Structure 1
Amino acid sequence: MMNEFCKGGGCTAKLGPGILDKVLKMIPKKADPKLLVGFDHSDDAAVYQLTDELAVVQTLDFFPPMVEDPYLFGKIAATNALSDIYAMGGEVKTALNIVCFPESMDANILGQILLGGNEKVTEAGGVLAGGHSINDVDVKYGLSVMGTIHPKRILENNHCKEGDLLLLTKPLGVGIVMTASRMKAVSEEAFDQAVESMTTLNKYAAEIFKKYGIHACTDITGFGLLVHLGEMLGENFSAEVWTSQIPYIRACEDYVEEFYITAAGQRNRNHIGAQVAFENCSFAMEEILFDPQTSGGLLVAIPENEVKKALKEIEALGLDCGIIGRVTEKKEKKIYVLK
């Protein structure tokens, strides 16, 4: 069983946002006008301009397994890594495997992981072009992905506008469900819902959003909805989040009551909690909003006059989704969570 070699799986294994903020501030930023998107605003991927009409989008992501099935783990890890290209509005071109694997384990397990990853790269329309592996005590897998985009069609995560509505394309709660799974307490229905979400490429939602005037876009991963939303708002805006409209895996409420929650969720709470005002919000919903997502959905800021048409198309993809809030003028708190 792969999980015997792992201390935490999926995006719950990420370092906390507070640590990363501190470390990244120490790194000097090289001035290069062709680097259109770097790590200045915690965006999803880097974008480097090659010509007036072509830029490359570059990202990487890898983590330990959160499921027992190696083929399924490969699919989830690849779907998660590919997501950053879609969050920027790009198209996937090539991918490289990133592998950490104990030589003492059955190599057939690694083969299944790589087959699962290759399946999702192929579905994305990309080509798996190689990779790098090292002998390690833990299993870890992911991808380095390269995509392309027109320099004037980049979807950055921090260009929202006052009055924009916030549309989320996948349900929350994956981290909580996977924690319950590790404790052998998860229902088959909840597990299947989480797996369907984690293995659904954001490619299809991204293709829909290209038809509309999206102002900002990000994918929800290890920092949870509220931290990623905080990054989208920057220093100029606040937002309302409407809990009655949040799509989430319903069993999560029961799992939170049993304290099947993650350390990463608590790090997210510690990082942005002081900037969030909760009004008539249950503890379970708070945890769902802080919950780290593995291969989560896209969160977009979209003009109000376009959101209903976009939502109708997103709903047709089959996953729970919803209009979850609104960007407002800057207020005392960054985020107001309302019932």
Structure 2
Amino acid sequence: MSKKDIVFCKGGGCTAKLGPGVLSRVLERIPKKYDENLLIGFESSDDASVYKLTDDIAMVQTLDFFPPMVDDPYTFGKIAAANALSDIYAMGGEVKTALNIVCFPEQMDLNILGDIIQGGSEKVTEAGGVLSGGHSIMDQDVKYGLSVTGIINPNKIYQNNGCKVGDKLILTKPLGVGIISTANRVGEASKEAMEQAIESMCTLNKYAAEIIRKYDVHACTDVTGFSLLGHLNEMVAGDCSAVIDSTKVPYIKEARDYAKEFLLTAAAQRNRNYLEDKILFNIDDFAMEEILFDPQTSGGLLVAVNPDDVDDIMKELNTLKLPCGVIGKVVEAKEHKIIVD
């Protein structure tokens, strides 16, 4: 097979994730074993596990892999790697090593696989990590990602559910890449929109993480397959709610147009169904709702910060090349976990 014959799955990137409802039912059945050194496990739906090694060092572990969402294997490798590395940054950690995860059809041109791994390797190097090995299996379709290990001070972990009432919510990348990738698969996305989506997906969250770690961060996650609203729902799992100003949410402009044309993903509808009773929409804007439910691949960081730090944080974030914004605030618990104005 040639490079142009690469076989893509119907749901590429983080649209291929199992829905949050299905996943939560499975995880509830897993026996929980107590270990005082396991600081973060799967119970809180956090971005990575954290295991304490010493008083000053903890190990951060994560993995992520999925089918392609773009036509170019090299670009796909970069996106898949950036997405996997993101979980380390969402916890406040530093990337150290990575292992390739490869599913590849035996009859396909191995140059395609070489391009994928090259793209991934370059992102690991950019992150300051070392690609130290991996594992591959034969499969009917291409899938690629990384298992990543990082380190962190056990006293400086960003959990996803540490929000405090009064916190401001900052999003460091624009939404809409899932909608745009869907439109691109059916030939409806503009070249400009797809270029913006690829630039966003290829950009490491390393640079935003280096900025926010200077400030008083109470909670952090990266926005991926469960959408902005899905991951925010995990952040306000405690005794608080969130209010989102939909006019402040950054997104790639064409995503709204494609949503109006119903170029949507099944994953977004799973997100909507799961979150339906947890969200109050005070807007009459179907396209904006779809953007907020849109599964992101290699999305930005969603950060709850001390409101006193917001102006300084935004001055620094605005020096980066991607749109970002202060999109809402954390409030006392309401009937709904999230209110969208």
Shorter-chain TM-score range: over 0.9
Task: Say whether residues 1:257 and 2:260 are aligned partners.
Answer: yes
For 1:245 and 1:318, the matched residues in 2 are separated by 17
Q: Does 1:71 align with 2:53?
A: no
1:300 positional shift = 0.4
Superposition CA RMSD, Å:
0.8
Conserved in 2, the CA contact under 8 Å of 1:3 and 1:66? Answer: no
**Structure 2: which 5+ residue stretches go unaligned?**
none
Counterpart in 1 of 2:137? Answer: 134
Equivalent residue number for residue 123 of structure 2:
120
Which consecutive aligned stretches of 4+ in structure 1 deviate over 4 angstroms post-superposition? none
Query: In structure 1, what residue type is equivalent to 2:176?
Result: G
| Pairwise CA distance, 1:39 | 0.5
Q: Measured at CA, do residues 119 and 2 of structure 1 come closer, stay the same or move farther in structure 2, by a change above 3 Å?
A: farther
Cα offset, 1:3, TM superposition: 5.6
Q: 1:111 aligns with which of 110, 114, 125?
A: 114
Q: Which one of the candidate residues 179, 182, 196 is aligned to 2:182?
A: 179
Matches within 5 A, 1:77-116: 77-116=80-119
Number of the residue aligned with 2:62: 59
The answer to whether residue 286 in structure 2 is matched with residue 283 in structure 1 is yes
Tell me what 1:48 maps to: 51
Decide whether the 8 Å contact of 2:98 with 2:129 is kept in 1: yes
- 1:208-248 CA-partner distances (Å, limit 9, x unpaired): 01100000000000000001000000031111000110000
Equivalent-residue separation in structure 1 for 2:53 and 2:203 (angstroms) = 31
- The CA deviation string for residues 280-330 of structure 1, in whole angstroms up to 9 with x for no partner, is 240000000000000000000001110111011111111010000000000
> Contact 1:3–1:65 (CA<8 Å) still a contact in 2?
no
**Aligned match of 1:324 in 306, 310, 327?**
327
Code of the aligned partner of 1:137: Q
Native 8 Å contact 1:157 1:232 kept in 2: yes
Corresponding residue for 1:310?
313
| 1:2–1:68 contact (8 Å) kept in structure 2 | no
Report the count of equivalent residues.
338
Aligned to 2:229: 226
Whether contact under 8 Å (1:83, 1:219) holds in the other structure is yes
Match among 23, 27, 30 for residue 27 of structure 1: 30
* Aligned-partner Cα distance in 2 for 1:280–1:208: 32
Contact 1:70 1:112 in 2 (8 A): yes
Pair 1:147-2:121 in alignment: no
Q: How many angstroms apart in 2 are the aligned matches of 1:242 and 1:3?
A: 41
Q: Normalising by structure 1, what TM-score?
A: 0.99
Q: In 2, distance between residues paired with 1:320 and 1:156?
A: 24
SS in 1 for 2:144: strand
Q: Tell me the secondary structure at the aligned position of residue 22 of structure 1.
A: helix
Matched, 1:268 2:271: yes
Q: TM-score, normalised by structure 2?
A: 0.98
Would you say the 8 A contact 1:5–1:137 is kept in 2? no
| 3-state SS of paired residue (1:113) | helix
- The C-alpha deviation readout for 1:134-177, integer Å capped at 9, x for no partner, is 00001000000000000000000000100000000000000000
Equivalent of 1:298, from 301, 306, 313? 301
Identify which of 162, 166, 169 aligns with 1:166. Answer: 169
Q: State the distance in 1 between where 2:198 and 2:34 align.
A: 41
Name the % identity. Answer: 66
Counterpart secondary structure, 1:251: helix
> What corresponds to 2:337 in structure 1?
334
Verify the 8 A CA contact 1:100 1:133 in the aligned structure 2.
yes
Aligned residue identity for 1:112? D
Q: 1:6 Cα deviation (Å)?
A: 1.5
- Structure 2 distance, partners of 1:124, 1:5, is 27
Report how far residue 257 of structure 1 moved. 1.4
Counterpart of 1:245 (choices 235, 243, 248) is 248
Deviations 1:160-200 (A, max 9, x none): 10000000000000000000000101011111110110000
The farther-off stretch of 275-284 and 139-148 is 275-284
The one-letter code sitting in structure 1 at the alignment partner of 2:111 is N
Query: Partner amino acid for 1:288?
Result: I
Output the CA distance in 2 between the equivalents of 1:227 and 1:314.
24
Alpha-carbon distance between aligned partners in 1 of 2:75 and 2:321, rounded to the nearest angstrom: 20
- Aligned residue in 1 for 2:238: 235
Change (3 A) 1:5 1:243: closer
Structure 1 position 253, deviation (Å) = 1.2
